[in-house]
């Protein structure tokens, strides 16, 4: 069944599959289609059309033979409305309908000159994966050829705003609670680095607002420290597809 092969059971699984199984194995070219939410009942049929269009239902041996012959291999994966097609370098097989726009994640963002002389950098070579209304991830290719994942700029700044506003209320338990939110995020190297930066920020906010906690050893009040904001760094592996269906 197509459903079991292409539909990720969670956004964590999708993110893991894109970074480890695809980008990590040379699937550098990507295309994203965001399916209409109000047509959810038709998503299964759209999955089958993508699979047929790009011939993504190949076995491991068939992919190996295509690679040996210099042909590109294609993979289709979807989570909720986000439908991705990835492919490797190589000649596009004659049985593939290559009609969508693909981007190469290895390319640097284009630089565009505006009419006022200022320049901005386009971000379309980077994969942006938005989870819900408030959380997003940027996926890029690092210098070592591996996928680099970090929180999007909006997500990072949004967390800082939450920490700032919570610190003003001067409730240490609430401050610890909101910081615990970041421990629920998958621990890619880029995300862990941002967690440490956020911890530095929240400690400064605690000091700025004169927040104090009771030290477990001395039983006296002290400033909030890094140890009050634990960072979970273990990178868990999740199942990508629901095998029970």
Q: What's the average model confidence in pLDDT over 80-94?
A: 96
The number of distinct structural domains making up the chain is 2
Task: Render 76-123 in DSSP notation, one character per residue.
Answer: EEEETTEEEEEE-SSBPPTTS---S--EETTSPPPEEE-TTS-EEE--
Asked if residue 131 lies in contact with residue 137, where contact means CB atoms within 8 angstroms, the answer is yes
More confident position, 100 or 144:
100
Q: Do residues 158 and 206 share a domain?
A: yes
Q: Do residues 95 and 117 share a domain?
A: yes
Q: Do residues 191 and 84 share a domain?
A: no
How many other C-beta atoms lie within 10 A of the C-beta of residue 244?
Answer: 6
Residue 145's pLDDT is 81
Residue 169's pLDDT is 93
- Looking at the chain, the whole-number percentage of residues with pLDDT higher than 70 is 90
Range of the domain at 17: 2-150
On the question of pLDDT at 63 being above 60, the answer is yes
Q: What's the average model confidence in pLDDT over 33-60?
A: 95
On the question of pLDDT at 243 being above 90, the answer is no
Q: Do residues 132 and 162 share a domain?
A: no
Band of the pLDDT at 112, cuts 50, 70, 90?
low
DSSP E strands in the chain: the ranges are 29-34, 74-79, 82-87, 103-104, 111-113, 119-121, 127-131, 135-141, 147-151, 212-214, 221-223
- What's this model's pTM, rounded to 2 decimal places? 0.85
Residue 154's pLDDT is 94
User: Which residues lie closer than 8 Å to 104 by C-beta, 6 or more apart?
Assistant: 28, 29, 125
Asked if residue 239 lies in contact with residue 21, where contact means CB atoms within 8 angstroms, the answer is no
Using one digit for the tens of pLDDT, what is the confidence trace for 8-34?
A: 999 999 999 999 999 999 999 999 999
* Cα angle 156-158-161, degrees, rounded to a multiple of 5: 115
Q: Do residues 19 and 102 share a domain?
A: yes
Residue 126's pLDDT is 83
Asked, for residue 235, whether it belongs to a domain, the answer is no
Residue 3's pLDDT is 42
């Amino acid at each position: 069944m197509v459903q079991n092969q292409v539909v990720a059971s969670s956004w964590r699984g999708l993110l893991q599959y894109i970074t480890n199984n695809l980008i990590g194995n040379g699937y550098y070219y990507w295309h994203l289609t965001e399916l209409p939410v109000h047509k959810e009942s038709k998503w299964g049929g759209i999955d089958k059309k993508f699979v047929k269009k790009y011939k993504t239902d190949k076995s491991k041996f068939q992919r190996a033979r295509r690679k040996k012959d210099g042909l590109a291999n294609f993979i289709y994966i979807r989570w909720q409305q986000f439908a991705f097609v990835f492919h490797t370098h190589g000649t596009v097989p004659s049985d593939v309908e290559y009609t969508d726009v693909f981007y190469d994640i290895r390319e640097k963002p284009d630089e565009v000159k505006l009419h006022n002389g200022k320049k901005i950098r386009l971000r379309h070579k980077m994969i942006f994966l938005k989870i819900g209304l408030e959380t997003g991830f940027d996926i890029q290719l690092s210098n070592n050829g591996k996928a680099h994942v970090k929180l999007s700029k909006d997500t990072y700044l949004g967390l800082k705003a939450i920490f700032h506003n919570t610190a003003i209320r001067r409730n240490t338990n609430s401050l610890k609670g909101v910081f615990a939110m970041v421990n629920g995020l998958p621990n890619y190297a880029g995300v862990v680095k941002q967690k440490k930066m956020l911890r530095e920020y929240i400690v400064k906010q605690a000091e700025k607002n004169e927040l104090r906690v009771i030290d477990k050893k001395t039983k006296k009040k002290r400033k909030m420290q890094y140890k009050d904001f634990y960072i979970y760094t273990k990178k868990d592996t999740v199942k990508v597809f629901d095998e029970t269906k």
